Structure 1
Amino acid sequence: MSRIENPIEGVVYQTEDKADFYLSTGAWVNSTVGETLRSTAAKFPDRSAFVSDERTLTFRELDEQTDLIAGGLLDIGLMSGDRVLFQLGTTIETVLVAFSCYKAGIVPVCTIPQYREVEIDALGKTSKAKAHFVQADFSGFDLIKFAQEVQQKNSNIEHIIVVRGKAPDGTHALDALSSRLSLAAARERLTSVSISPRDVLSFQLSGGSTGLPKIIPRFHAEYIGHAVGWSTRYQIDCSSCIIWSLPLIHNAGQSYALLPPIIFGLTAVLMPKVDIQRMLELIEIHKVTHGLSIGPIAPQLIAYTGINKHDLSSLKLFSTMSRADKLEAHLGVPCSNLYGITEGLVLGSPADDPDFVRHHTQGATGTPCNEIRVLDPDSEDVITLGNVGELCFRGPYSLLAYYGDEVATKKALTSDGFFRSGDMVIEHVIDGRSYFAFQGRLRDNINRGGEKIGCEEVEEYVCRHPAIADAKLVAMPDPFYGEKGCIYLILRKGFEAPNLKALADFLAAQGLAKFKCPERIEIVDAFPVTRVGKVDKALMRQDIAQKLERENSDA
């Protein structure tokens, strides 16, 4: 396989032998993202690549416009291997910026517009970012001014590039970059750039809900291979059409929505935000075949009462993190659970897998080279089949080392290089294939007098109640047991909340152990979320603790 053309100090690269092996098995693809885009644009120049309510890009337009922007980036002094901060939403412009960077060998640090000083300062300095892309119209928050303040504290940042807005003095407008050179001159400029399939494609970020995100290098050959593997698992091909409404630049967005179009020549429909009614309209208009959700989309779909107004006959599969059975019953199309982690593993199931697999496991890997073990979370001992243990994996897409964080790397990997996910699963072997059922996270448990309660397990059972649209279980302090469970509920429209006894009776009838039943109910209109859009359970635990303290004081 080709050598690394733009090595980045501090990045751990795969060995030559392993790289050759993954290439020979097809787990890696011997290409760069730029080469893949150019090849697909030559095959399907007039086919729609990305569609939004604002505009549509054909593959020819995508190829030409990204050449122009890439040439402009090189012309202002950025170079292959340079890192750049991204604070961009899910728009066509984000697609253009991402592929332009990939063609020029520039490495996006995949932050999001919601990040503020703590995250951006740390990530900018750790990555030694040379530029900062911001979307001017993302929200009422002034991201341009924010980027200027960040630049004053970080001498590495030489350029601020403004997307979808007017660029003040000292910054660059994306439109100006794209017209800086002619297409011929931009393409000539790009011929001087050498990029290897083994080069770093992007700096992805860990998805933890607490602490600063850790940087995860991803590489051209392995990232393309990863997208091919999961897409093949979901039976996605050149005739498919996918829809995406969550952050585009994160791992899931790039794997599910950004790369498959240029790999297969399919069309991706992009939405700047979650809007259930509009999503269903777009599925009908564009004949979407595959829908994917890693966030709050599934509960909102289940709660949407106008589902019969929409023609969803084009949908072959809708995949979600959990509750696929309930979603399938509501939508009337095949649904399956999935699992994904930025450190390198995706599990899923196609529409023709058995109901048990699609509804009661997160599926299987689409790559035979992936090695998966279920380990004792306190040791490296393998758990007996059928028992709960920690999901651990090693393979062609797995984290080799966090960038600039040896301590976190050592903690995350076993002695033989398996990544410890912190997620608890049960392995099911069906017809000789291993499927993994998610049981909760190591850090999302309640210790009730020594009995551990997996919050996500209880949440799944609670959400089966006809009055409940969604539920989140958190620990609340208790003087006797140490902790008890408090369930926060979002109710379906027109339904009343069950009381504790009625909910406990319902859960017991479902087969849930009595000690796992929630011991307090809180009704809310929405769950608090972190800046990255994840449910903020820390804030919910703080909320219930404060309520208990006030109640005890009043008593």
Structure 2
Amino acid sequence: MAGIHYPIDGVNYGNPDVARRYLEEGAWIDSTFGEALQATARRIPDKLAFISDERSITFRALDELSTRFAAALFNLGLKPGSRALFQMGTTIDTVIALCACYRSGIVPVCSLPQYREVEIGKLAELSQPQAYFVQGDLGHFDLVGFAGRMCDMHPSLTRLIVARGTVPEGAHSMTALLESHTLETARTTLDAVRLGSEDVLSFQLSGGTTGVPKIIPRFHAEYLAHAAAWATHIHAGKSATVIWSLPLLHNAAHLYAIVPTILLGQTTVLMPKVDVVRMAQLIERHRVTHAVSIGPVAPQLMASPQVLESDLSSLKGFFCMSRADSLESFLGVPCSNLYGTTEGLLLGSAPDADAFIRHHTQGFSGCAFDEIMLLDPESERPVAPGEMGELCFRGPSSLRGYYNAPDINATALTGEGFFRSGDMMRAHDVDGVTCYSFEGRMRDNINRGGEKIGCEEVESFLSRHPAVLDAKLVAMPDPMYGEKGCAFIVARAGQPAPDVAQMIEFLTSQGLAKYKCPERIEVVDAFPLTRVGKVDKPAMRKWIADKLAAEVTAGA
């Protein structure tokens, strides 16, 4: 089963000798996602795979429904290697649709439901998808109508597939497609599909500073192994019950929730939206053992005393991006910081790890084959022990190259093939284990609750406003999301600068996703400059952080 059966132009498949070694040494799993689901369904057919308030689904039902849907997609003319844009929520339907694509070799382009004309347009131009999956009842925005307009604008998008909503003329109903095949006819149809474990599984997305989408191909063999290594690392696996409340298309959702469920047989509880009181109730009801917070979940928990009214004793571990010590003190269960990047590295620590590792570092990799170095960004030389350096890594799941992006790839990796994360870390030796603490970022972006916002991209949109002469966007601290965007604006002479609400209305009218819009505006006469005359963004970040701190003190 090893090998690349359906190569995609623009994908870097890496060195065949290295791939062979990874397979031989167990760093990759020589299987496909569909085979893993079939094997788990045979082993534990009646166990619940995914649970939600709307419905739950067993492994047998998930295997059968996704097989039927996969055959229907195949008969629509979508073949292995075809790309499909996804804008769907955290639901069982999304799981079925993803599993169907993975079974048939269709490659999901895992975009966010919040994306609008700017982001979807760029992704469509770059990936040339032939299909577009949308959820018809996701929030108040008319996602189906929006998808129809995008299909009209991008000729490659010839098939619109709608789940959970009114299906317009010319589009395809997910329900109708499912009903078009029996299990027997579906299996016969899919007999023609023979995927290789080194074929592309999905196109995941990476944030950047300029807003230009960067697509990260992930592959069956490495993705399965990556998720398995993480589950082992945090003492999860087949007996675990995990809860997930964030976007299901995220790389994080795949590695923490979807892939280990399919491969190992864990049960995952899905929440369509973040509601921390309901989360606590579901933890009690389903005896959840592991919870993961990427973004605002942990701060919201600590701000909601009602969550402590639920019995959380089943939790073996809660994993968050930062402040694990505070969360542990609040919840009374073991909590660990983690670090993850779609480019292929996961750092974390088990619930029984040393408290310093769990609370004051982001832990260490659970993959024995990962190589991690902290390098001087200018020279690519290793920094001295205890000093900060840029986190660089290579390993079985590490980025081999962004999709169809030779110019970006030329600078994304070091001369030795290590991916340059742009994140500054410090190494700590704890009883012979090297752990890493996050110290800051080199790149000009904002991490708003786990979603990366490229400052340069937003600045270009801010400057389109007729009252704005120039604008800069910087990160400001936020207790819930970690960071939010603050825009420093130089207004045109004689024109009043827009307030936040006016700017958001303008930016979204230009097709920018709302979550990228600044949430504070500071009007200035000029930007601070460094000694060499460049805009001093660190000074701007410090200024707004100090101003926010003073406002909190004054309001205390």
Contact 1:242 1:268 in 2 (8 A): yes
Paired residue secondary structure (1:42): helix
Q: Which of residues 514, 518, 522 is equivalent to 1:544?
A: 522
Tell me what 2:279 maps to. Answer: 279
* Backbone CA RMSD of aligned residues: 2.5
Tell me what 1:160 maps to. Answer: 160
Tell me what 1:257 maps to. Answer: 257
Contact 2:38 2:63 in 1 (8 A): yes
Tell me what 1:111 maps to. Answer: 111
Contact 1:343 1:398 in 2 (8 A): yes
CA gap 1:20/1:194 in 2 versus in 1, 3 angstroms? same
Give distance in 2, aligned partners of 1:71 and 1:440.
47
Tell me what 1:222 maps to. Answer: 222
Structure 1 residue 539: deviation in Å?
Answer: 2.2
Greater CA drift, 249-258 or 313-322: 249-258
Q: In the alignment, residue 197 of structure 2 is paired with which amino acid? A: P
Give distance in 2, aligned partners of 1:236 and 1:106.
29
Structure 1 residue 254: deviation in Å?
Answer: 0.8
Paired residue secondary structure (1:123): helix
CA gap 1:178/1:428 in 2 versus in 1, 3 angstroms? same
Structure 1 residue 154: deviation in Å?
Answer: 1.3
Matched ranges for 1:306-345 at <5 A: 306-345=306-345
Give distance in 1, aligned partners of 2:81 and 2:487.
48
Q: In the alignment, residue 439 of structure 1 is paired with which amino acid? A: E
Paired residue secondary structure (2:521): helix
Tell me what 2:91 maps to. Answer: 91
Q: State the Cα deviation string for residues 379-414 of structure 1 (Å, max 9, x = none).
A: 211111101111000111011111111111112111
Tell me what 2:501 maps to. Answer: none
Matched ranges for 1:75-86 at <5 A: 75-86=75-86
Q: State the Cα deviation string for residues 190-243 of structure 1 (Å, max 9, x = none).
A: 111010000000010003365132000000000001101111111112111000
Contact 1:374 1:383 in 2 (8 A): yes
CA gap 1:386/1:136 in 2 versus in 1, 3 angstroms? same
Give distance in 2, aligned partners of 1:225 and 1:78.
27
> Does residue 121 of the first structure (1) align with residue 121 of the second (2)?
yes
Paired residue secondary structure (1:232): helix
CA gap 1:221/1:214 in 2 versus in 1, 3 angstroms? same
Q: State the Cα deviation string for residues 411-442 of structure 1 (Å, max 9, x = none).
A: 21111111110101100122222100000111
Paired residue secondary structure (1:72): helix
Contact 1:82 1:106 in 2 (8 A): yes
Q: In the alignment, residue 392 of structure 1 is paired with which amino acid? A: C
Contact 2:426 2:439 in 1 (8 A): yes
Contact 2:85 2:131 in 1 (8 A): yes
Tell me what 1:289 maps to. Answer: 289
Greater CA drift, 14-23 or 198-207: 14-23
Tell me what 1:504 maps to. Answer: none
Give distance in 1, aligned partners of 2:382 and 2:284.
47
Tell me what 1:511 maps to. Answer: none
Give distance in 2, aligned partners of 1:53 and 1:395.
38
Tell me what 2:388 maps to. Answer: 388
Matched ranges for 1:157-306 at <5 A: 157-208=157-208, 210-306=210-306
Tell me what 1:133 maps to. Answer: 133
Greater CA drift, 50-59 or 9-18: 9-18
Tell me what 2:540 maps to. Answer: none
CA gap 1:407/1:477 in 2 versus in 1, 3 angstroms? same
CA gap 1:6/1:469 in 2 versus in 1, 3 angstroms? closer
Give distance in 1, aligned partners of 2:434 and 2:512.
35
Contact 1:112 1:532 in 2 (8 A): no
Give distance in 1, aligned partners of 2:151 and 2:12.
28
CA gap 1:26/1:301 in 2 versus in 1, 3 angstroms? same
Give distance in 1, aligned partners of 2:482 and 2:132.
38
Tell me what 2:348 maps to. Answer: 348
TM-score, structure 2 as length reference: 0.82
Give distance in 2, aligned partners of 1:393 and 1:190.
38
> Does residue 364 of the first structure (1) align with residue 361 of the second (2)?
no
Matched ranges for 1:139-158 at <5 A: 139-158=139-158
Give distance in 2, aligned partners of 1:216 and 1:203.
6
Q: State the Cα deviation string for residues 73-94 of structure 1 (Å, max 9, x = none).
A: 0111111110000000100000
Contact 2:337 2:358 in 1 (8 A): yes
TM-score, structure 1 as length reference: 0.83
Paired residue secondary structure (2:2): coil
What percentage of aligned pairs have identical amino acids?
50
Contact 1:340 1:346 in 2 (8 A): yes
* Count of residues paired in the alignment: 482
Give distance in 1, aligned partners of 2:84 and 2:484.
38
Tell me what 1:13 maps to. Answer: 13
CA gap 1:123/1:318 in 2 versus in 1, 3 angstroms? same
CA gap 1:270/1:469 in 2 versus in 1, 3 angstroms? closer
Q: Which runs of 5+ in 1 are unaligned?
A: 447-454, 479-527, 550-555
Tell me what 1:27 maps to. Answer: 27
Matched ranges for 1:66-81 at <5 A: 66-81=66-81
Q: Which runs of 5+ in 2 are unaligned?
A: 447-473, 490-506, 528-556
CA gap 1:281/1:532 in 2 versus in 1, 3 angstroms? farther
Structure 1 residue 279: deviation in Å?
Answer: 0.3
Give distance in 2, aligned partners of 1:12 and 1:160.
29
Give distance in 2, aligned partners of 1:533 and 1:226.
32
